[in-house]
Amino acid sequence: MNLVFEDDGQIKAGAILSESDAAAQIELPGGRRIKVKSSNALLRFAAPSAAQLLGDAQSQLTDIDMMLLWQSAESADEFAFGELAKEYFGAGATETQQTATLLALQQAPMYFYKRGKGRYKRAPEDALKAALASIERKAREAEQMEAWVIALAAGNAPPEIAGQWSQLLHAPDKQSLAYKALVAAADRARMSPVHLLARAKAIPSTHALHYDRFLRATFPKGSAFPADLAAPAQPDLPVADVAAFSIDDDSTTEIDDAFSLSALGDGSYRLGIHIAAPAAALAIGSALDRVARDRLSTVYMPGNKITMLPDDVVAAFSLDQGKTPAALSLYATLDAGLNVTATETRLERVRIADNLRIAALDTLQWLDAANDHDLASKHAAELRVLHQLAQKLATARGEQTVNRVDYNFAVQSDPDAADCRIEISVRQRGSPVDTLVSELMIFANVTWAGMLADKHWAGMFRVQAAGKTKMSTAAGAHEGLNVPHYLWATSPLRRYSDLINQRQLLALIAGESAPYQRGSAELLAAVADFDATYAGYAEFQQQMEFYWCLRFIQQEGIEKLTARVIRENLVRFDRLPIVQRIHDMPSQVAGTQVVLAVAEVDLFEPALHVRYVESVASATDTTA
């Protein structure tokens, strides 16, 4: 006799050598002998042989119509495989046909549910339809996926892939068909997904690659403002008896600060530092406030920015030429020696006479009174006094002159365009205009920090100790600036910290209670979030400046660069804001000028690969 049995979930057959009530000794067709429990025995037969039975059953299995087999099991109750074989093949179903039925049941879990050894139950019709639909869908998906893989590997991006390139790279659903197709195609082409999509022209540009990565990580709901946000009305305030002017870069549209200077007739002056006052109209917890609280700052990058507040709100409060917007004004009385003898803070409206631009001022000889006849040198006399005051303030703080170099980036057109050009110019820090603006801003921020500190009010203070700077709700020394307390309150259109501090100052001068009390959970959360967010924005700005440096190197066809050694193999490039380690460069003395050859510019990473060429005592900058 032979036996069909189940062994570890598989249907097998063999010759019975011996048996008892509990088990049988079986010889398999290959000669191996195993012990089979009686509970696993399914069908006894005398002929044909076990091997032939299984072979014939496998052949017959391919002819079984699974839907007809399912329909044959009309009863909703459990049944034995032999019973179903007789329903399907007829009452005289052979051992081979019964075994083929058993194999069909074993291999079709969507049609039949297993209920024991050789026993099954028909799947409900709804469940079967759902399972079959799923199989059909998976087959269509497999066919679709293979078509996408073939197209991508050949360098062509199907619209379904090209339309979601950013999500596939930066925030993929790894179970999606498109992502699986991209990964499979990348493996087939032996390329990274990003390079595969770039070859297929699915990515608009490398600039879009980095910008979209930042947007998805930082603004997952998009950077657009809600459509229903409206600029609040300007508060009804008295108009100051001064005419102010601002000093900003050409690209600045959020003009937060302006200055005025009035002669008092005895050699003394009244200085006015006027700061845009959105806090006078933006209520805490309002829709606009929630947007600003979420963003915390304007995000800057070459050729673009993401503002903290909507454009119409910025326009309503910006200190634009010809307007009389609300301003928080700090007035300082200066004696003939330009010493500060008194200060006063007011909320008022200020007439803005001019918006001066730094680039234009840097080309004028406004420090020389002989040039005052030049119409372009308007406000030259006031600028000279303010510059003298700035120098005095810097000296009082013990400020050391630092010839630090900054860089201006000018993106000439659409940053995603292939022919977009970038201009990078050097701006020397410590220029007269730079000193004037920075020192007066420091003066205002220190003065207002002192007002809050004297009242023991909370705020968002900038504290620096042991070289580490952080936000704090309590006033503390800023060692870098050498001042007893410091905060940011001069850019409320661009930084949420300044908006918070302006609200505190407005309440203070109005004799009201502080909007943000010490220990305020809202204030503490804003401090924690601001530090992390502001640092993230700054890091992104540096990344994009580095990216545009690489674009500049490509654009100008630069093959060699010069740099100065900071220490060992760390260098600072000449005329480009890049600091990088040169791994094949031997350790050099700090200050040594080195020549580096451009090996590869990778705009995808982005990365600049250079090789050390030589060290020189002095060299002409080869980027010129």
How does residue 377 score in pLDDT terms, banded at 50, 70 and 90? low
Domain-ending residue, one of 73, 94, 123: 123
User: Of 181, 203, 225, which residue is a domain's last?
Assistant: 203
Whether residue 393 is found in the same domain as residue 473: yes
pLDDT digits (tens, 9 = 90+) for 203-222: 999 999 999 999 999 999 89
Does position 129 have pLDDT exceeding 90, yes or no? yes
- Verify that 444 and 522 share a domain, yes or no: yes
Give the model's pLDDT for residue 399.
76
Query: Residue 403 has what pLDDT?
Result: 64
* DSSP H/E element including 448: helix 432-454
pLDDT band of 623, cuts 50, 70, 90: very low
> What average pLDDT does the segment 175-179 reach?
93
CATH number at residue 98: 2.30.30.360
Q: Taking each helix axis from N to C terminus, what angle separates 521-556 and 206-218, rounded to the nearest 10 degrees?
A: 170
Same domain, 483 and 353: yes
Q: What is the pLDDT of residue 401?
A: 61
Are 480 and 604 within one domain?
A: no
Cα distances (angstroms) measured from residue 396 to each of 57, 339, 463: 101, 11, 19
The answer to whether residue 315 sits within a structural domain is yes
Which of 502, 536, 570 lies at the terminal end of a domain, its last residue? 536
C-alpha to C-alpha distances, 16 to 43, 53, 144, 153, nearest whole angstrom: 12, 14, 51, 56
Assess if residue 211 is contained within a domain.
Answer: no
3-state percent breakdown (helix, strand, coil) of the chain, nearest 5: 40, 25, 35
Is residue 456's pLDDT more than 60? Answer: yes
Return phi, psi of residue 299, to 5°.
-100, 125
Structural domain count of the chain: 4
pLDDT of residue 571: 95
Residue 420: pLDDT over 70: yes
Q: What is the mean pLDDT of the chain?
A: 92
Q: Tell me, yes or no, whether 520 and 372 share the same domain.
A: yes
Residue 353 sits in the same domain as residue 403: yes
Q: What is the pLDDT of residues 539-550, one digit of tens each?
A: 999 999 999 999
Are both 88 and 131 inside the same structural domain? Answer: no
> Which carries the bigger pLDDT value, residue 89 or residue 371?
89
Among the residue ranges 272-276, 366-370, 530-534, the one predicted with the least confidence is: 366-370
- Tens-digit pLDDT profile for residues 92-128: 999 999 999 999 999 989 999 999 999 999 999 999 9
pLDDT digits (tens, 9 = 90+) for 593-619: 999 999 999 999 999 999 999 998 644
The pLDDT value recorded for residue 618 is: 47
Picking from 315, 254, 244, the residue whose alpha carbon sits closest to that of residue 274 is: 244
Structural domain boundaries, residue 583: 558-624
The band of 404, judged by pLDDT with boundaries at 50, 70 and 90, is confident
Over range 20-48, report the average pLDDT: 93
**Residue 215 within a domain:** no
State how far the Cα of 16 lies from the Cα of 25, in Å rounded to an integer: 6
Domain of 616, CATH number, reads 2.40.50
Q: Is residue 229 part of a domain?
A: no
Is residue 219 one of the residues assigned to a domain?
no
- C-alpha to C-alpha distance for 389 and 408, rounded to whole angstroms: 27
User: Does residue 299 belong to any structural domain of this protein?
Assistant: yes
For residue 402, is pLDDT > 70?
no
In this structure, the answer to whether residues 10 and 142 fall within a common structural domain is: no
Per-residue pLDDT band at 497 (split at 50, 70, 90): very high
Q: What is the mean pLDDT of residues 313-325?
A: 95
Residue at 589 is within a domain: yes
Least confident interval from 214-223, 421-430, 579-588:
421-430
Residues 447 and 523 in one domain: yes
Any domain includes 320: yes
Instruction: Please indicate, yes or no, whether residues 257 and 355 belong to a single structural domain of this protein.
Output: yes
* Comparison of pLDDT for 329 and 110, the residue scoring more: 329
Question: 291 with 427, same domain?
Answer: yes
Asked if residue 376 has pLDDT above 60, the reply is no
pLDDT of 362 over the 80 cut: no
430 pLDDT exceeds 80?
Answer: no
Q: For the whole prediction, is pTM greater than 0.95?
A: no
Pair 43, 173 in one domain:
no
